[in-house]
Amino acid sequence: ETGVTQTPRHLVMGMTNKKSLKCEQHLGHNAMYWYKQSAKKPLELMFVYSLEERVENNSVPSRFSPECPNSSHLFLHLHTLQPEDSALYLCASSQVWGHNSPLHFGNGTRLTVT
Amino acid sequence: GQQVMQIPQYQHVQEGEDFTTYCNSSTTLSNIQWYKQRPGGHPVFLIQLVKSGEVKKQKRLTFQFGEAKKNSSLHITATQTTDVGTYFCAGTGNQFYFGTGTSLTVIP
């Protein structure tokens, strides 16, 4: 049972659609992350929020827009995506933002862009 | 930029055989973490190593951190079918760097 919940589990969208991924953590953590997992590639860090402030943005295209309204919730807004954006999008949280703090991942959203 | 390479990419073993995956960094790491992702699942944190030369054990799993803090290994003794999954290392320098993972298949 994960303390990080992601919805939806699966999403199919056209290139002109707008959708949002949602993440909620029930662990009382202060940092939240979005990762992209594609086949045969390392996990790619997209965004980091610490205490609701964005602290890292790893050259992610503007068609991905994160939002962190409070320390328990994280969204990833998607618009005009490309087929190569199809991947598993994983949300994670950690107690604090820092390099000794283990990540707790959600189950992910499997995104397919048609 | 910093890279964390992991080998092998795939490993098939007979149940009961041992398994080892290796993680190598181009630069010195502050610490290293290991995660396991079951098929269709999400990465789950296993352990963190911080000290140079550190060795930690979890039942049949042995984790090592190199003396130079640039490499690490995970060794599983007498694999079981429940060990199936992808094992990732994550080295931390100024941010997390995940390795490409080793996918383990255990043949009953």
The per-residue pLDDT for range B60-73, each reduced to its tens digit, is 999 999 999 999 99
Q: What percent of chain A has pLDDT over 70?
A: 97
Contact flag A102-B48 (C-beta cutoff 8 Å): yes
Measured CA to CA, the distance from residue B95 to residue B108 in angstroms comes to 39
Measured CA to CA, the distance from residue B20 to residue A66 in angstroms comes to 38
Pick from B30, B33, B50: CB nearest A102: B33
Structure confidence at residue B83 as a pLDDT band (50, 70, 90): very high
Contact flag A100-B92 (C-beta cutoff 8 Å): yes
Pick from B43, B93, B96: CB nearest A45: B96
Q: In this predicted structure, what is the pLDDT of residue B4?
A: 87
Nearest CA in chain A to B94: A99
Measured CA to CA, the distance from residue B21 to residue B35 in angstroms comes to 12
Helix (H, G, I), strand (E, B) or coil at A84: helix
DSSP letters for B80-91: -GGG-EEEEEEE
